[in-house]
Amino acid sequence: MLTFLWKFTFFNFLIISCCHNYVDNPDKPAIAKYFNTKGRYEEVNPYLIEDILAVNRSILQPPSANCQEIHLTAIIRHGKRYPTIKNVKEMQQLYNIVLHNASGQESWLREIQTQWTMWYTEDMDGRLVQKGVNDHKHLAVRLSKLFPSLISEEKLRGGFIKFITSSKHRCVNSTLSFKAGLTELWAITDKEFDHEVNDALMRFFDQCTRFVQEVDNNPSALSEVDKFKQGPEMRRVTEKIADRLRVPYNNITQDMTEAAFYLCAYEFAIKAVNSPWCQLFDEDDAKVMEYASDLTEFWKRGYGYDINSKSSCILFHDVFNRLNKAASENKSGQQVTEAVTVQVGHADTLLPLLTLLGFFNDSDALTSTNYATQTQRSFRTSHMLPYAANLLLVLYDCGGGDLRLQPLLNEKPVTFPGLTDQQASMPLYQDVKDHYRELLQGCDFEMECQLFKSPA
């Protein structure tokens, strides 16, 4: 295994001193696989727990040995981060209740009250943590092993790898970490590599007026989420937490229940410890918490409203423009000028695009009343969108004008929904374009995102 010399002098990075003395704990919470967007990448790919740089090129399975990769677009979520200000405030409220009102002799409760301290502070506000730096360094190395002809020192030095990022500090620092993974791998010290900040592409949701007004800033858009949070499943979880803490039911709010779940998740993601906070939940509780989060993502970023996915039209077209350019250059015998595009954004960047492409579309919508029948749903953010989640689109030249496109999600091949031929995992690029013809001919960001005036 390659050993990295971690260097943080290349960017201003917030490291909180309280974490330095923690040693990774091999034990993990029994509920770790339900942490939705707060989950570790390693829960999605458990083999990485043994070897964080492990890859298996046989999963690519091109239809012919003649197939050569000519372009890779990688759309990647930032790495592990600290809680946001909102989360920290809710955690503090819960901690005060546990510290001053909870009673009992359980060891986990005594540990919270006598040993654990509220070390999360508002100035952390979603910043990348050290393990988030590692997420992207390791991912960079794995992708260089998975696609060695594209992600190579020669291609990097030659300017054939382009980096684009959201302006948020956690994304910029993830981008810097990805680049550092490559430069440290090849011991490059004589050159630096630029990146482009582009919120129009990586934070399109902020710039889509119709989405902002009709969904993001519209409380009624999440009515199904509100109903579920007031429903019997969530009420039971909250009451069980109150029972475990021996406090009145009205002491524990829905926000505190969420804060407790996030405390367990963040402690595991940031410190790799099985926190005493995790003892407030059993597996049934965790499934309910996961569903509540999925319900929010479904209605706010997924299939709940058409504008959720249509807000990503600008990124959709950008991806296919890059693929078309690579295909055109390759056809004319030129060297592909942009062999790799690395685009770093958010879960809120990836989910609308995955939705637009038709991934994880269950037959029944997620609602406040069908929790019991959604246990086998494919729309599960714990599997789709952990920290450092990534959508890879790899364009292959298989000879004789035979171009093929392979999608991978979190380094695993997936199938474009609706393409079901025998080579659906690596279909003809033309078939992919035919399949998405309506979106390619339409899906105009400006048109979709403008607010239509009501008739006078």
Three-state DSSP state, 198: coil
Which residue reads 């246990």 in tokens?
375
Encoded amino acid at 256, one letter: M
The answer to whether residues 203 and 164 touch, using CB atoms and an 8 Å cutoff, is no
Closest alpha carbon to 36 in 193, 264, 219, 310: 264
Closest alpha carbon to 351 in 275, 273, 412, 409: 409
Closest alpha carbon to 381 in 292, 306, 315: 292
Which residue reads 């298989």 in tokens?
398
Catalytic residue of the set 71, 78, 138, 346: 78
**Beta carbons within 10 angstroms of residue 148's beta carbon:** 12
Closest alpha carbon to 320 in 73, 70, 151, 150: 73
For residue 424, what are the contacts with CB-CB under 8 A and spacing of at least 6? 415, 416
Please name the helix (run of DSSP H) or strand (run of DSSP E) that holds residue 72, with its range, or none.
Answer: strand 68-77
Residues 367 and 88: their CA atoms lie apart, in Å, by 28
Three-state DSSP state, 120: coil
Kind of pairing between the strands at 340-345 and 161-165: parallel
**Burial zone of 20 (CB within 10 Å; 0-12 exposed, 13-18 middle, 19+ buried):** exposed
Task: Tell me the C-alpha to C-alpha distance, in Å, between residue 92 and each of 51, 99, 109, 119, 318.
Answer: 36, 10, 16, 10, 42
Encoded amino acid at 239, one letter: E
Helices (H), 214-253: 223-229, 232-245
**Beta carbons within 10 angstroms of residue 65's beta carbon:** 8
Helices (H), 387-428: none
Active-site residue flag, 383: no
Encoded amino acid at 387, one letter: Y
Helices (H), 101-202: 107-114, 130-146, 153-157, 169-185, 199-202
Maximum pairwise Cα distance, the chain = 74
Q: Which residues are catalytic?
A: 78
